[in-house]
Amino acid sequence: MMPTVVKKRSVVVAGHRTSVSLERAFWEALRDLSQLQSKTINQLVSEIDVSRDGNLSSAIRVYILGQARAGVLPRPLDGAGTPGDGVAAPEVEQGEAAAPAAG
Check if the beta carbon of residue 2 is closer than 8 Å to that of residue 78: yes
List, in sequence order, every beta strand (DSSP E) within the chain. 6-13, 16-23
Tell me the pTM.
0.70
Average pLDDT over residues 61-81: 79
Give dist(CA 22, CA 72) in Å, integer. Answer: 20
Confirm whether 56 is domain-assigned. yes
Confirm whether 99 is domain-assigned. no
pLDDT band at 35 (very low <50, low <70, confident <90, very high): very high
Residues 8-17 have pLDDT tens digits of: 999 999 899 9
Confirm whether 23 is domain-assigned. yes
Total domains present in the chain = 1
Q: CB 84: neighbour CB atoms within 10 A?
A: 8
Confirm whether 3 is domain-assigned. no
